Structure 1
Amino acid sequence: MENVSAVTSFILTAYTELEDHRYLYFICFLVLYIMIIVANSVLITVIYIERGLHEPMYLFICSLAVNGVFGSTSLLPSMLVFLLSYNYEISLTHCLLQIYCLYSYAFVEFTILAAMSYDRYVAICHPLHYHLLMSPKKLYAAITLSWAIPLIYFVLFFIMTFQLTFCGKIIEKVYCANFPLVKLSCVDTNVQYIVGLALTFISPLSQILMILFSYGQIIRICLFASKESQAKAIRTCTPHLLTVINFSVGVFFEAIQSRFNMSHVPYKARIFLSLHMGIFPPLLNPVIYGISNQAIKNQIFKLFNSKKDSEPHSR
């Protein structure tokens, strides 16, 4: 009888679909990763060095940028390695670590976006009490909890999945995901299935409700406000709404693919849709906030102009 505990690595078979143009995909994903790192690093640097940007909204944006680097680094470097290799095998430890990082990244992103929606709600609906409701102490507590809760929360999932034994080795993706991995187990996985379902659909519920509540109140206030106030509210909220929509689309693609039969969708299309969550939010968030926010835009120009001025002039 086969030793069921012998399976300690898995094969990511989706890479076989990318073999014909592996070098083209490698260059594309490498360029995307460099753009993500550079764009988010510039945003983090600008907010860090400019004390005038040490306000709740900008510190939340900075947290999004840090999380974007974390999420994309959990995904893209391993993809780049696999694209240059004909060995698509990943160890159990590496697989679990990737799942832990990607799920934590998604949870942190939703939590920060929920906190940002509350910040916008307070700024628009209770401007006179803004500095009291969003005091530095409360702000740092919100940012700390945004990171601590997901990172601790997913330790439970990590331990539960690590204790499983596996009979299969085939994961039809370019990265590890919880549900495809659990399906390879030799033992009863009802508990893991329920926990995974809760993590996927129930965990973000409080964040989603916070976002809906905040924007419901903002809309209610704007209905009775002047056109000038409405325009200002729209300018303030549009970047955040674009960020929420962009990330939610990626999460939706991944959740649907993991739980339901998507065989009617071309395999390559499913591969690229599954990458949306880890690539496009980290790539587009700095662009959205860098273009739409005049204060950030000014500081970026100031940063690069100061570097240019500090260079020795050629004779």
Structure 2
Amino acid sequence: MTVNELNILETSGTNWNSELNAITPSLFNFQNVSELFTTIAISGNETVNGTTEPLGLQCMWGKPSFNCTEEQYLEYWRGPRSLPLSTALSVTILFVGIFVTGVIGNLIVCVVIVRHAAMHTATNYYLFSLAVSDLIFLMLGLPYEISLYWHQYPYNLGLAFCKIRAWISEASTYVSVLTIVAFSMERFLAICHPLHSYRMSGLRRAMRIIAILWTMSFISAVPFAMYTDIDYLTYPPDNSTLYESAFCALLQNPGCLWEVSTCIFFAIPMAVMIILYGRMGLRIRSRTKKAAEVALGKVHGSIHDETKTAQSRRAIIRMLVNCIFTIK
């Protein structure tokens, strides 16, 4: 959705608050923020200058009934500035719990791997990469997500942070996905092609793969920074900019950016991992079945040997008895 399209929505009287929030580059893609804001946005009747009619008609520029102040216009198109205290507080407690647990857990993983030389393996390097990307994901974006429940607008952290946050948050998500795929591929080779995995094993190879994944992820996330900007509403009567309406969002038309991103960094990795783990499951099942057959064969062989031993002992006893009677 471009800025021009947003202006068209304003003049046509369409409340685009939900659409704007739906395309906001959110760290956790929580659309319930915009849904909650839209639900409690002003949509009923309100008395303005002695008249009572739907606020939407009062705040639609070009309509004869346009009759709302800048603050009413802002609240109608953007929604309320904050959620009810009970909702904001409960969401904050939940997010703080996620933040503390995620940060402490991932920091422990990083410290343990760094401080213990025995943990310097290819598998643990992938886990270290995953932990770092998750830390960036949490520390850069989650505090801002919490702030949206208390203060939706105006956005006052600057254009640079707006773009950098969108870029790094998206890139860290890509890193996590690609790292999990690479780790799954390593497990697949170790289980299904152990000899090939042994020839390809090594810390340098794992480090090169991780470096490539991070580079690819940050390059792929550049379009999100390019198309992210701070949007301002324009008050129609005097065509003035409402700086109190500042909102950081993916405003310009990204074309098929969302579709391509979802396909490359969600659908394809998901399909690859399903195939890999499916084949690993089949291989493990086959090996387990063969091991059970071998164990069963050994049991049968042991029983057969014990039977032959017992028969030999009985034959020896009979021979001894015959000898004794013969001597007598």
TM-score (norm 1): 0.55
What is the distance in 1 between the residues matched to 2:164 and 2:125? 28
Cross-structure match for 2:263? 201
1:255-283 CA-to-partner distances (Å, cap 9, x unmatched) read xxxxxxxxxxxxxxxxxxxxxxxxxxxxx
Gaps of 5+ in 2: 8-19, 22-32, 38-80, 235-246, 293-328
Identify the structure with the greater helix proportion: 1
Cross-structure match for 1:68? 134
5 Å-filtered alignment, 1:1-315, equals 14=37, 16-83=82-149, 85=151, 87=153, 89=155, 91-159=158-226, 161-162=227-228, 181-182=250-251, 185=252, 189=253, 192-226=254-288
SS of alignment partner, residue 16 of structure 1: coil
Offset, 1:204? 3.8
Specify whether residues 213 and 141 from structure 1 end up closer, same or farther in structure 2 by C-alpha distance, changes over 3 A only: farther
TM-score (norm 2): 0.53
Offset, 1:167? 6.5
What is the distance in 2 between the residues matched to 1:108 and 1:144? 10
Offset, 1:168? 5.4
What is the distance in 2 between the residues matched to 1:108 and 1:196? 17
Identity of aligned residues (%): 18
What is the distance in 2 between the residues matched to 1:28 and 1:157? 28
What is the distance in 1 between the residues matched to 2:176 and 2:268? 13
SS of alignment partner, residue 287 of structure 2: coil
1:106-138 CA-to-partner distances (Å, cap 9, x unmatched) read 211110010011011011112233332232222
Contact 1:118 1:210 in 2 (8 A): no
Offset, 1:140? 0.8
Offset, 1:79? 3.0
What is the distance in 2 between the residues matched to 1:101 and 1:229? 48
Contact 2:178 2:269 in 1 (8 A): yes
| Dislocated runs of 4+, deviation >6 Å | none
Specify whether residues 143 and 20 from structure 1 end up closer, same or farther in structure 2 by C-alpha distance, changes over 3 A only: same
Gaps of 5+ in 1: 170-174, 231-315
Specify whether residues 198 and 176 from structure 1 end up closer, same or farther in structure 2 by C-alpha distance, changes over 3 A only: farther
Specify whether residues 168 and 203 from structure 1 end up closer, same or farther in structure 2 by C-alpha distance, changes over 3 A only: farther
Q: What amino acid is the match of 1:78?
A: Y
Specify whether residues 52 and 33 from structure 1 end up closer, same or farther in structure 2 by C-alpha distance, changes over 3 A only: same
Q: What amino acid is the match of 1:195?
A: L
Aligned length: 208
What is the distance in 1 between the residues matched to 2:108 and 2:164? 28
| Alpha-carbon RMSD | 3.6
